[in-house]
Every structure is written in structure tokens, then in C-alpha cells.
Amino acid sequence: MEVRGYLLPDGLCYDRNHTWGRVEGDIVTVGLNDFAQKLAKDFVSVDLPIEGKQVTQGKAIASVESGKWVGRIYAIVSGEVVEVNEALEDEPTFLNTDPYGEGWVLKIRMENPDELSNLLQGEEAVRWLEEEIEKHA
């Protein structure tokens, strides 16, 4: 789905820190949403966590830098980092060109599926994104 020019694909979970998650069994693929990447402009570097790291929902786990912005990527669920997108180290612009595909950041094996209820989906995610767009207009 598109919300005022920003992609917000159905079937994903979103948090208020502008990250998204794709849930496949107990693995959650995490990335930055389209709004965040457009706001930041072209990314120049990504600092990824190490595989095996334990992460906690809502805590910073990676950092990204663009020419005008330094930001954090937050864990949308608690668990263990089981894979990182090493391609981003050489091509951080994947975060811009394909934020929901090649621009994924990492995968977490979630410990507590109940944490998914803390995330936004569907119409709730749309309303939240519309509020974010208004804040930054």
C-alpha cells in the first residue's frame, strides 16, 4: 500500500522507530521503512551487529548514516541476531533503492511472539505514518 507517496507494504509489522519486520515462523527480518530512508536521503554507511548478539525489543541494535543524518535501527522483537545483510557494508544505498527487499538489515530469532502485539499493522500503521508525515511536513 502507498500512503501519501510512501510505501507501506501489507503483511509487515512496523514500530514507531521507523523499522519494519517480516515474520516467517520464529525469524523476523528487520529493515528501515520507506519514510525513514526518504527523510535521511542517501545512506553512506551501516554499522551492523554481530551474529549471535542478544537483542531486546525497543533497544538500538545498528546504526546508519547518510550525508545529513545519523540514526539507529531498533530491535522490533527480542531474541538473537541470526543473520545480517553484509551487502549493506559495500552498498548502503540498498536501504534507499529497495528498503523492503535488498535493503533488509538483519534477522532476529524471536524469543517471545507476544511482543508482536506491540507493533503496528494495517490501518493502525497507516494512521501512524500519516501522523509522522504531518510532523515532518
Q: Is residue 102 part of a domain?
A: yes
Say whether pLDDT at 137 is over 90. no
| Number of CB atoms found within 10 A of residue 119's CB | 21
pLDDT, position 69: 83
Look at residues 51, 48, 59, 45 and name the one whose alpha carbon lies nearest to residue 96.
45
| Number of CB atoms found within 10 A of residue 95's CB | 25
Q: Is residue 40 part of a domain?
A: yes
pLDDT, position 48: 97
Mean of the pLDDT values across residues 76-95?
A: 97
Say whether pLDDT at 94 is over 90. yes
Q: Is residue 13 part of a domain?
A: yes
Say whether pLDDT at 68 is over 90. no
Q: Is residue 127 part of a domain?
A: no
Q: Is residue 54 part of a domain?
A: yes
Mean of the pLDDT values across residues 83-95?
A: 97
Residue 33: give its domain's CATH number.
Answer: 2.40.50.100
Residue 24: give the domain boundaries. Answer: 2-114
Q: Is residue 119 part of a domain?
A: no
pLDDT, position 6: 97
Q: Is residue 10 part of a domain?
A: yes
Mean of the pLDDT values across residues 85-103?
A: 97
Q: Is residue 120 part of a domain?
A: no
- The number of distinct structural domains making up the chain is 1
